[in-house]
């Protein structure tokens, strides 16, 4: 599958996935196991841009469509350091809701990204995300089970993605995920950090 193709995605978060995990492990072999430490940048204004640092690169994906309970995310940028001031003003300031004046002239590292962009702007949160991901291929889809931590808050997540929305929807049903809400990493982090409302006990 092309790295540049916009994919339809269904993702859910829970404490664990029980029978869903059992089915996925029974129906497909694990293709790959990966661990990563990542930094996500979020803000109240940032609702459609998934901005993360991983493996030496700043990776931005944009939510371009929603269809039948699925989301379609398209790659927007994947760049290494240094980040020039004009790039920051063009690519990071708008989705994060930052004014372009006062931005750094250059950012040379992930540490500098947090210290020079997030810390001086209280509305921008830098969230450390640890992932241990188990990848599967099933019925034309890329699938994933993962253990994740948002600033050490532990959750499990599972995902189905493909360029074919119908294939994602069919596998979602077969795995027993129809009762789960589609929740992106961006939205899950927003909920954990209090930027997005969550259902309250009396709702």
Res 144: pLDDT: 98
The C-alpha atoms of residue 138 and residue 105 are separated, in whole angstroms, by 46
**Would you kindly state where each structural domain of the chain is located, as residue ranges?**
7-54+62-75+125-192
Alpha-carbon distance values, 134 to 74, 106, 179 (Å): 22, 36, 22
48-104 per-position pLDDT tens digit: 999 999 999 999 999 999 999 999 999 999 999 999 999 999 999 999 999 999 899
Domain 7-54+62-75+125-192 has CATH 3.40.1350: no
Report CA 75 to chain centroid distance, whole Å: 12
Residue 10: is it exposed, middle or buried by C-beta count within 10 angstroms (0-12/13-18/19+)? buried
**Residues whose CB falls within 8 Å of the CB of residue 19, separated by 6 or more in sequence, listed in order:** 176
**Tokens representing 155?**
């959750």
Q: How much of the chain, in percent, has pLDDT values that exceed 70? A: 98
**Is the model's pTM score more than 0.75?**
yes
């Amino acid at each position: 599958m092309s790295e540049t193709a916009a994919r339809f995605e269904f993702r859910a978060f829970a404490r664990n996935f029980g029978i869903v995990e059992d089915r996925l492990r029974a129906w497909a072999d694990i293709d790959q196991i990966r661990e990563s430490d990542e930094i996500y940048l979020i803000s109240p204004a940032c609702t459609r841009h998934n901005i993360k640092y991983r493996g030496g690169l700043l990776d931005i994906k944009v939510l371009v469509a929603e269809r039948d309970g699925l989301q379609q995310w398209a790659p927007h940028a994947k760049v290494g350091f240094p980040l020039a001031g004009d790039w920051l003003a063009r690519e990071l300031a708008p989705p994060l809701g930052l004014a372009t004046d006062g931005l750094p002239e250059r950012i040379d590292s992930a540490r500098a990204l947090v210290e020079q962009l997030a810390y001086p702007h209280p509305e921008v949160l830098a969230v450390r995300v640890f992932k241990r991901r188990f990848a599967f291929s099933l019925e034309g889809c890329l699938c994933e089970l993962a253990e994740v931590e948002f600033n050490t808050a532990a959750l499990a997540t599972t995902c189905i993605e493909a360029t074919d929305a119908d294939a994602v929807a069919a596998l979602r049903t077969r795995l027993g995920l129809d009762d789960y809400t589609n929740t992106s990493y961006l939205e899950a982090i927003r909920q954990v950090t209090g930027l997005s409302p969550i259902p309250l006990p009396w709702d």
